[in-house]
Amino acid sequence: MFSQRRKFLVGSTCGLGLMGLGKAISLFAANNSSLAEQRVLEFSRLVEGTVIGPDDSGYEGARRTFSFNPRFSKFPALVVRCAAESDVIRTIAFARENELPIAVRSGGHDVMAASSSDGGIIIDLQQLAKIDINGQRVNVGPGVRAGQLDFQLGNAGRALPLVCNPSVGTGGLTLGGGLGWFVGTQGAACDKLTSARVITVDGRAIIASNEQNQDLFWALRGGGGNFGIVTEMEFETFSKPEVIAGVVVYDARLLKEFLAFYQDFMSTAPDELTVEVVAYDGEVPMVAAMAYYSGDDRRAEAVLEPLRSFGPPLADGIRKQEYGRTGVLAPDVAPHFTTPNVELTNEPRENGLYWQGISISSLNEQTINSIDDAMNSAPRGWTFGLGHIMRGAVTQVESETSPLNRPFGSMTVHFDIGWAHNSQAAECMNWVDSSIDSLKVSASQHDYINYMSTDNHDAVMAAYGENYSRLAQIKQVYDVDNVLNGNRNIRPNESNY
């Protein structure tokens, strides 16, 4: 819990400067130490959850995002781990009264660490993690991880179109769209959202749905965290399918050939099949196809045969599995995902991870060559991923339903890399940047917001296309002062910028 004394609250600008606190410096320097300290102590007593400051033992862990690296290493003044909706309301009020920037965290996977803030307050929603299944509907807290929700829904015989990464927070995932295994048959996670409980920046708790605050409800389904802080979501689920799923592993030297095959294979694949690609620098570098088929069992063998015979594969883990339990690798596949040793002798260990993503229109020859060149020049510890093809159900949603752009055939690509020591960070991060830059010639007209690796305003406007102006009007209604700006920001009052 927040301790009784804080170095950054006793008027020491030296201590504040070490943290790079921005607006927080002027806040606490402008007040005498007893008043500043009293404000924070009074606030911490009102919060049901945990308030963490820079002197607390849990601060390092609390400030770090999933992808932690030097470029986006931020030092918040406070991290508030909210245990109840009232904590969210009180934290918004405290931050606004004291002119502190606000960042909101669901799972913390954002590529640019949008869920952290230098000198501001992180509203951490990870403890708001209830799952309440009621027939075909499920009520979910924003801190629930996708894998948790998959598992519990599966036990109840229900399912949702969530992402392929089970550790992603459901809140951020849904607000940005949410593309996953059922993209072809069920659409995006945001398409199954039926209502959301939202805390506005002026502290009101409101419901957004097709019956109430319809404009806000439209904006939440793909417009990101620009309009309020969502504390609960209700989804319409569907009956749990039988799935045939698993990973097929190939020699990494087949990457170029496989990507060309993949483009053709997926162009004629049924909507019930989703295949994500990952190339990985394990003990032995490899390429893997992660397949997920939810169609008719009688067609499965014919549908999957080209994928299973390509190469031929080094290992084939595709099998009939239970929805919600497909993350377990088959015994002959798991050894191919061994972590490479990137440790150096005589250097202190400080792990880092950096990634960037981009949406591309297709896998043409130039794009495939660029990906292959990137793999050949990569430092140890690299990973490449490709997937989220816009096809089937996700492309059949009208713009009146959601602001998420859905250009048919576009897909996401990401490069990421981990390291063990700070001395390795620059080379690793430069490799990711240059790899992404090489693909910009084939970039899609609209970036998928959850993978978007820039907060440049022109890029944000391009990502939303013709939906941007309506989003800006809704932002004007619900956040006229642009309090929630640590995101792919939609600006109110465009004429003022």
Token couple for 296? 């008719």
Residues 364 and 298 in one domain: yes
Question: Where is the domain boundary, 191, 225, 240?
Answer: 240
Report the domain count for the chain.
3
Q: Percentage of residues in the chain with pLDDT exceeding 70?
A: 92
**Shared-domain flag, residues 251 and 236:** no
Q: Count other C-beta atoms under 10 Å from residue 329's C-beta.
A: 18
Question: Which pLDDT belongs to residue 284?
Answer: 87
Domain membership of residue 461 (yes or no) is no
Sequence-distant (6+) residues with CB within 8 A of 395 are 406, 407, 408
Mean pLDDT of 209-224: 97
Q: Judge if 252 and 389 occupy the same domain.
A: yes
pLDDT category at 24 given cuts 50, 70, 90 is very low
Q: What is the mean pLDDT of residues 85-97?
A: 97
Q: How many CA atoms lie within 13 A of 294 on its CB side?
A: 23
The answer to the question of residue 477 being in a domain is no
In a shared domain, residues 165 and 305 = no
Give the per-residue pLDDT at 23.
Answer: 37
Could you tell me if 116 and 205 lie in one domain? no
Residue 13 pLDDT > 90, yes or no?
no
* Distance (Å, whole) CA 477 – CA 494: 13
Q: 482 lies in a domain?
A: no
Indicate whether 110 and 138 sit together in one domain.
Answer: no
Average pLDDT, integer, range 432-438: 95
pLDDT score of 8: 32
**Average pLDDT of every residue of the chain:** 90
Q: Are residues 256 and 327 in the same domain?
A: yes
3-class DSSP assignment, residue 101? coil
Q: Write down which residue in 124, 145, 175 finishes a domain.
A: 124
Residue 419: its H or E element: strand 411-419
pLDDT at res. 172: 95
Assess if residue 468 is contained within a domain: no
Element (H, E) at 84: none
Residues 60 and 117 placed together within one structural domain of the fold: yes
Q: Indicate which CATH number applies to the domain containing 227.
A: 3.30.465.10
> Is 308 domain-assigned?
yes
Q: Sign of the C-alpha dihedral, residues 113, 289, 376, 411?
A: negative
Q: Name the amino acid, one letter, at 136.
A: Q
Boundary of a domain, candidates 240, 256, 286? 240
Given a cut of 70, whether residue 30 has pLDDT beyond it is: no
Provide the residue range defining the domain that includes 60.
7-124
Q: What is the pLDDT of residues 378-420, one digit of tens each?
A: 999 999 999 999 999 999 998 889 999 999 999 999 999 999 9
pLDDT at residue 287 in the model:
97
Q: Which one has a higher pLDDT value, 465 or 29?
A: 465
150 exposure class (CB count in 10 Å sphere: 0-12, 13-18, 19+): buried
Residue 178 placed within a domain: yes
Q: Residue 165: its pLDDT value, please?
A: 87
**Residue 9: is its pLDDT beyond 80?**
no
| Model pLDDT for residues 159-192, shown as the tens digit of each residue | 999 988 889 999 999 999 999 999 999 999 999 9
Query: What is the pLDDT, as a whole number, of residue 494?
Result: 61
Separation CA 85–CA 97 (nearest Å): 19
Are both 226 and 267 inside the same structural domain? Answer: no
**pLDDT at residue 35 tops 70:** no
Mean pLDDT of 279-291: 93
CA distance 191 to 358: 22
- The answer as to whether 146 is a domain residue is yes
Q: Residue 283 — pLDDT band, cuts 50, 70, 90?
A: confident
User: Which pLDDT score, from 0 to 100, does residue 4 have?
Assistant: 30
Dihedral (C-alpha) 188, 190, 192, 196: value to the nearest 10 degrees?
170
Tell me: do 289 and 438 sit in the same domain. yes
pLDDT above 90 coverage of the chain, percent: 79
Res 409: pLDDT = 94
- Split at pLDDT 50, 70, 90, the class of 319 is very high
Question: Domain containing 11 — which CATH number?
Answer: 3.30.43.10
- Give me the pLDDT at residue 400, please: 87
Residues 110 and 218 in one domain: no
Could you please report the per-residue DSSP string of 203-239? S-EEEEESSSSHHHHHHHTTS-SSS-EEEEEEEE-EE
Q: Band of the pLDDT at 341, cuts 50, 70, 90?
A: confident
In angstroms, the CA 295 to CA 270 distance is 8
| pLDDT > 70? residue 20 | no
Measured in whole angstroms, the distance separating CA 39 from the mean position of its chain's CA atoms is 33
Average pLDDT over every residue of 250-256: 96
Q: Which tens digits make up the pLDDT trace of 258-269?
A: 999 999 999 999
CATH number of the domain bearing residue 380: 3.40.462.20
Calculate ∠ Cα 22-483-37, nearest 5°: 50
Task: Tell whether 475 is covered by a domain.
Answer: no
Helix (H) or strand (E) holding 384: strand 382-387
List, for residues 65-87, the tens digit of each pLDDT value. 988 899 999 999 999 999 999 99
Phi-psi region of 191 (alpha: psi -120 to 50; beta: other; left: phi over 0): alpha
- The owner of tokens 């992404």 is 436
Q: Is the same domain home to 185 and 267?
A: no
